[in-house]
Amino acid sequence: VDRPPREPARSSVESPTNLRGDPTTGQFSFEARPDLCVPDMFLFGGATASAVSEAIEATANQPLAWVTTQFQQRIQPGATVHLHVARDVERRRLTQCRVEGIVEGETVFRALGATAARESAATIWGPPMPDVPAPADSPPLNFREGWMESGFPSRFEWRTASGRLFADSQQAKNQD
């Protein structure tokens, strides 16, 4: 089916990765800045997933329904990451995309994702959210000393709504 090119999605939300590119060609890039990295180690996977999600939404001009990213190697701080987004399937309300992440000519990850326009705002996808305490009523998440002081993790307030994670889970088996 021949369709005219879609206008790029417009968002009032600032890009956490400062993704730049052209939705009509599916070519994007961003810098693995230190504030997006696990301190002195590698680009945080969540930052990469954020850039992939943003690129897919811009290319498909629809809201993201799901995304998965498989890393083949670590992305070093300071690297320029190029994203190539291909539209594999386009339907009336659904677009499936494939993304290749490249640094210095090498593939560093591959991602798949889909966007979808819902028929109505009342449609619920997936199971209901679990009943958990409010963030202010949840204990802070314990990390290794110094790990939260710089890089991408320092941009968030981390709390455990239910169960035990990370450092806490090393002392006892998580039963919930």
Contact assessment for residue 52 and residue 101, using Cβ atoms and an 8 Å cutoff: yes
E strand segments, the chain: 20-22, 27-31, 37-38, 42-43, 64-71, 80-90, 94-103, 106-116
Greatest mean pLDDT among 35-44, 68-77, 141-150: 68-77
Termini Cα distance of the chain: 49
Mean confidence (pLDDT) of the chain? 81
Quick check: 143 pLDDT over 60?
yes
Residue 141: pLDDT band by 50, 70, 90 thresholds?
A: confident
169: left (phi over 0), alpha (psi -120 to 50) or beta: alpha
Residue 9: pLDDT band by 50, 70, 90 thresholds?
A: very low
Residues 6+ away with beta carbon under 8 Å from 30: 17, 18, 19, 20, 51, 80, 81, 83
Q: What's the Cα-to-Cα distance from 77 to each of 30, 33, 148, rounded to whole Å?
A: 12, 6, 17
Quick check: 11 pLDDT over 60?
no
Q: Per-residue pLDDT tens for 70-84?
A: 999 999 999 999 999
Residue 164: pLDDT band by 50, 70, 90 thresholds?
A: low
Average pLDDT over residues 160-166: 66
Average pLDDT over residues 44-70: 94
- Sequential DSSP letters for 7-24: PPP--SSPPTT--EEETT
Number of H helices, E strands in the chain: 2, 8
Q: Which of 66, 68, 70 is nearest to 126 (CA)?
A: 66
Q: Give the global pTM.
A: 0.70
> How many C-beta neighbours within 10 Å does residue 110 have?
15
Tokens linked to 73: 């190697």
Q: Which of 176, 164, 112 is nearest to 138 (CA)?
A: 164
Quick check: 167 pLDDT over 90?
no
Q: Quickly tell me which residue has 């209901």 as its tokens.
A: 128
Task: Provide the pLDDT for residue 84.
Answer: 98
Task: Provide the pLDDT for residue 95.
Answer: 95
